[in-house]
Structure formats: C-alpha cells, structure tokens
Amino acid sequence: MSFNKIHLIINPKSAGGSAGRRWHEIESLLKENNIKDYSFQITGKQGDATEFAKKALQEKVETIVVVGGDGTVSEVINGYCAIENSNQIANIVILNMGTGGDFCRTLGVPSDPSLSIRKIHNGKEILVDVGKIRYTALGGTTKERFFNNIAGCGMAGAVVYDVNRSSKKFGAFSYYLGALSNLFGYKNKEIKVKFDDYLEQTMTIVTLAVCNGQFFGGGMQINPEAHITDGLFNITVIEDWNLAEKVLYSSKLYNGTILSCKNVKNYQAKKVIVEPTNPNDRIFIDSDGDDIGMIPLTAEIIPARVKFKI
C-alpha cells in the first residue's frame, strides 16, 4: 500500500467495537478539518498495530493517528520505539476510543474525537518518557517490550488477566468489576524489589505499580505524583493490606489520595527489578492494560522517547 504523511491505525474492536462503528464519523471529521491526504490501516489481530507503526515510520510518515484505546496506543508505541530516532521522524496523535483511556487522562487527550483531530495540524508537540520492561512470558520465555503508561504486578496483574478474558461489555466499569471479584479471593504475595542500585527490600504486597502515567484500571489514580516527562518512574507499593483495609481504602484509588493511606509507599527510580521470593508463585504482570506474563521483571525508563501532539 502507499502511505501518506498522515497515517491512521484503527482498532475496530476498541471499546467493544465502538471504534469500528464510528469510523464513518471519523472520516467525516477528517474532511471537515480539511484533512484529505491520509492513509489508514485497520487492525485484525493483536500485534498488528505494532507492525503497522513500524512500516509507517519506515515509509517516512510524519503523523501516526491512533484510533483506539490504551492497548492500541501501547502497541503503536512498541512499533514506534523499535525504530531508531523515531521521535525525530514522526509524532503521534490519539483519538481516544478505548475502554479505560488511562494514559489519555495523564497526557491530556480530549475525549471528543473532533477536538483530537484538530491536534493533527494544531497540536502542541511533547516528548514523553517510556519504560522498557523485561519479563517472563506465560510460556516461560524471557521477552522485552515498551510501556508508555504503567506496568504493575500483584492484584493489578490478576485483575487485568481476568478483564482481558471477559467481554469488557461494561467499558471502564469492567475494571472495577474485575477488582471487586479479586478483592475477596486474592492472596497477597511476597516479593523482592530493587530500586536503582541503592535500595533492595523484601515485602508482601497487594500491588506494585511502576508508573510513568498516573492512572490505570479505568480511572484509578494509582500515583498522582507520576510525571510522563521527568525521566523517572514513580513506584506505588500497596503493602500487606488485609481484607478490611482493601475495602476501606479502595475508594482512595479514585479520588487521588491513595499515597496517604496506611502501608502505601511511593518510590522514585530509573530502574526497578521485581522477583518472587517463592519461585513457584505465579504473580501476573499488567503492562498498559495487557496481561503479558509473570515476574521476575526489570523496568528501565527511557526519557523523552516518544513525540506526541496534544
């Protein structure tokens, strides 16, 4: 296919198929904003957006427009970061049409696609950090990928594992239902964590979240102090809450006060290593809303790696 300077990558399954159903509306909005010379590709399976982004950059596309949710954005980021100096080649614009929209909250992407389309020509360019994670895939092999928002493990990973095997028919509320179902049955895990090269601890956790962005799980503000342009991770550790504490403090994830709760710690680091103390423990990882495997994991920050227009 031929590529234009503006190239759209569309996930028609995002938000339960809403993105696909609204494609004709997006085409009309593009025309209204005098955007005529564009090309597009529609994803058919997991991983397509990554390959489409790579190819678009190789064809010297100047703007990649992502039509989809957090998972589609993350796939595009993985293709974008696979190409050397891609932040000098192209920028990314997001039309937020996903289930959770968590990264968009931090980045400041409008929920109205007509406003986002205007950013193609008139948006402000911003260079955003990404994380690179090495982890154990479900098949047991060691793999690497990039994440732009949050990589977590513990109950957060278990929730995403369950949600991604559901229909997501309740949208962002699906994450709340997934958290609720794990609230009573999830057993806290003991892990060993190393922050950069100066601090190593063993702790029992509900969840550990390596945060570039602030939100995950469909609006939970897991770390209000995280910044996507400061060259650092903020790591939220929710330690060994009992059931009563889980019930009592869960609302704090939605009002931005989670860091003030009992047994919640906030660390900053450029590199994080997480390992199970019991090698037989299956501690699932959530990376940008995707259940990718299990710890051990190593996460490292790459400053100013992706150029967005917002």
Query: Model confidence over 169-203: pLDDT tens digits?
Result: 445 545 555 455 555 668 899 999 999 988 899 99
Average pLDDT over residues 230-245: 96
| Residues 220, 278 share a domain | yes
**Among 123, 144, 176, where does a domain finish?**
123
* 1 in a structural domain: no
**Among 69, 89, 123, where does a domain finish?**
123
* 153 in a structural domain: yes
Domain coverage including residue 33: 6-123
| Residues 229, 145 share a domain | yes
* Rounded-to-integer distance, Cα 204 and Cα 181, Å: 21
Q: Per-residue pLDDT tens for 28-71?
A: 999 999 999 999 999 999 999 999 999 999 999 999 999 999 88
**With the CA atoms of 124, 15, 80 and 82 taken in that order, what torsion angle do they form, in degrees rounded to the nearest 10?**
160
| Residues 158, 289 share a domain | yes
Residues, the chain: 310
| Residues 144, 113 share a domain | no
| Residues 179, 229 share a domain | yes
| Residues 237, 149 share a domain | yes
Quick one: pLDDT at residue 167? 47
* 27 in a structural domain: yes
User: For the domain that residue 70 is a member of, what is the CATH number?
Assistant: 3.40.50.10330
Q: What percent of the chain has pLDDT over 70?
A: 92
* 95 in a structural domain: yes
- Quote the number of domains for the chain: 2
| Residues 105, 156 share a domain | no
Q: pLDDT band at residue 258, thresholds of 50, 70 and 90?
A: very high
Per-residue tokens: 225: 């102090």
Cα-flanking dihedrals φ and ψ of residue 100, to 5°?
-100, -45
| Residues 232, 156 share a domain | yes
* 309 in a structural domain: no
* 48 in a structural domain: yes
**Range with the lowest mean pLDDT among 18-22, 84-88, 92-96, 224-228?**
18-22
Looking at the predicted structure, is the pLDDT value of residue 166 above 80? no
* 36 in a structural domain: yes
| Residues 44, 147 share a domain | no
**Among 91, 123, 155, where does a domain finish?**
123
Average pLDDT over residues 245-260: 92
The residue type of 48 is D
Query: Comparing 177 with 294, which gets the higher pLDDT?
Result: 294
* Rounded-to-integer distance, Cα 291 and Cα 138, Å: 9
| Residues 119, 146 share a domain | no
pTM: 0.91
